[in-house]
């Protein structure tokens, strides 16, 4: 006996054509749980020395900044110090008057970034 494999098209078709309120609630909860698991896995991969891009963060002016993880606070809410590259340092300096002093600097150690917002890059 072979196992049946559902494709994403099968799932989308079910949702669009047959799912009732209970089914939709179940699917939404499953998606939320899966996203959290993937986020936790990605956060566990963040280590000092790795290049990262900052994603899914507030304030939004931090979104897309790039750098290298300098260190990680291993407390309950793991936070990283990310040494921004030159381009991201300038971007941050121009994005917020609070960081205006950064324009023209080569790097900056940005403290307190949740590791869940650090996406390891392939570079």
Helix (H) and strand (E) counts in the chain: 3, 5
Tell me the whole-structure pTM to 2 decimals. 0.76
How far apart (Å, rounded) are the C-alpha atoms in residues 68 and 88? Answer: 11
Position 75 scores a pLDDT of 77
Q: Cβ distance 82 to 68 under 8 Å?
A: yes
3-state secondary structure of 79: strand
Position 122 scores a pLDDT of 72
Over 80: is that where the pLDDT of 84 sits?
A: yes
Where residue 67 falls among pLDDT bands split at 50, 70, 90? very high
Where residue 43 falls among pLDDT bands split at 50, 70, 90? confident
Q: Cβ distance 84 to 67 under 8 Å?
A: yes
**Which whole number is the average pLDDT over 8-24?**
92
In the chain, where the domains are located: 7-44, 47-123
Position 44 scores a pLDDT of 86
In CATH, what number does 47-123 get?
Answer: 2.30.30.50
Average pLDDT, the chain: 92
Among 2, 24, 4, 25, which Cα is nearest to 14's? 24
Inter-CA distances, 98 with 93, 102, 103, 123, Å: 8, 9, 11, 30
């Amino acid at each position: 006996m072979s196992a049946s494999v559902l494709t994403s098209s099968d799932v989308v078709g079910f949702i669009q054509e047959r799912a009732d309120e209970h089914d939709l609630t179940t699917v939404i909860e499953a998606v939320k749980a899966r996203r959290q698991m993937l986020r936790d896995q990605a956060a566990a991969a963040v280590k000092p020395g790795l290049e990262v891009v900052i994603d899914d963060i507030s304030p939004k002016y931090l979104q897309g900044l790039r750098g290298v993880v300098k260190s990680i606070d291993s407390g309950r809410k793991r936070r990283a110090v990310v040494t921004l590259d030159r381009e991201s340092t300038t971007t941050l300096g121009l994005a917020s008057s609070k960081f205006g002093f950064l324009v023209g600097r080569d790097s900056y150690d940005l403290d307190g970034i949740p590791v869940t917002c650090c996406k390891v890059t392939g570079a």
